[in-house]
Amino acid sequence: MKPSNSLSNLTPKTIKGLKPILALVILSFFAACSSSGREGVEEEQFAKYWYQGKAEINVFDLQQSRYGEIRPGKAVMIFVTEDFSKSKQVKLDNPQDRPSDAQKVLKLNMTRDFVTGVYPYHTMLSVFTPVYEEVSSPKLTSSVTEWCGQSFTQLNFKSGKYNAKLFSYFESEGDVESKIDAKAEEELFNLIRLNPDLVPMGNIKLIPSLIFQRFSHIPLKAEEATLSKKDLGSNQGEIEVIYSKIGRKISIRYQQFFPFEILGFTETWTKSDGKQEVTMATRTNMQLLEYWKQNEKVYEPLRKDLGL
């Protein structure tokens, strides 16, 4: 039988009209072909929001406690999905060429910017969490830069543990490597975005925030933590993490309906002398953007729209 040539007869107007239908077909096909190990992730709903080809930009007013004083600043959380290499634990440039090595991840890039006296601080955190596989985040990285110097931490999940590497300009810390058998605290942000029910409750071992670890200079290791969940009303919930031994508490506030947006967080550090340092971040703006395509000067007003 001769193959049909009907597609070649489609007019541009007809093709344009079919685009919304084709998009739905592609999303449905992806959902049908993706085997989810996370029961809390509703694939079709997730795909319609997260596979639009845009990133979610969240801007927060930051009140960062540092050196015993509150420093005003900005925090930004960028959430986006991408194809990640299982073997190399990096973003895949051409996932279609290596489908068996590709896994879909939800990536969080989070920055904090504030000033201490005459000199500025800039921190960045990256967390890569599988969307469909019920496994630990394969990779986390963090950096802290300021006029005194810089430090960098990387966690790679391999053989059931995190391989941790810390590079610091402080002599007492130096460059160290270790293995840590625990989940990472900062993975909680991504788990909330996938579904807050995925966050484990009760007493577990966690690796405290990599940013907090740099600010406090505590050893990079697992700590005992207690996790609980609260209903705040008005469709808002809160995850609370308490580390009694190191005096750290973090509360993350979020919307209780999809896409489970992060609304703010509070960090409290009670030091050995009883003094407390409290850091708060409150969301002020959120937009979906193709920011990687908006790098010309004409797009700079978008920063003002975001409150940056």
> pLDDT tens for residues 196-223?
999 999 999 999 999 999 999 999 999 9
Structure tokens at 288: 């979906």
The pLDDT of residue 173? 85
The pLDDT of residue 40? 86
The pLDDT of residue 229? 98
In sequence order, the 6+-apart residues with CB closer than 8 A to the CB of 116 are: 66, 67, 71, 146
The pLDDT of residue 170? 86
CB 77 within 8 A of CB 60: yes
* Domain range annotation of the chain: 13-52, 53-306
HSE (CB half, 13 Å, CA atoms) of 225?
27
Looking at the DSSP bridge assignments, the partners of residue 163 are 156, 179
Regions in the chain scoring below 50 on pLDDT? 1-16, 18-36
The pLDDT of residue 33? 42
Measuring CA to CA, which residue among 229, 167, 220 is closest to residue 197?
229
CB 240 within 8 A of CB 250: yes
In sequence order, the 6+-apart residues with CB closer than 8 A to the CB of 136 are: 157, 162, 183, 184, 187
Peptide bond connecting 259 to the previous residue in cis, omega within 30 degrees of 0: yes
Measuring CA to CA, which residue among 239, 189, 246 is closest to residue 223?
246
The pLDDT of residue 172? 84
The pLDDT of residue 174? 80
Residue 196 to residue 60: CA distance in whole angstroms: 21
User: Counting Cβ atoms within 10 Å, is residue 239 exposed (0-12), middle (13-18) or buried (19+)?
Assistant: buried
Residue 197 to residue 189: CA distance in whole angstroms: 12
φ/ψ of residue 272, rounded to 5 = -65, -25
Total residues found in the chain within this entry = 308
Q: Which residue has the tokens 């960062």?
A: 64
Structure tokens at 38: 């996370």
Q: Tell me the pairing of strands 102-116 and 69-85.
A: antiparallel
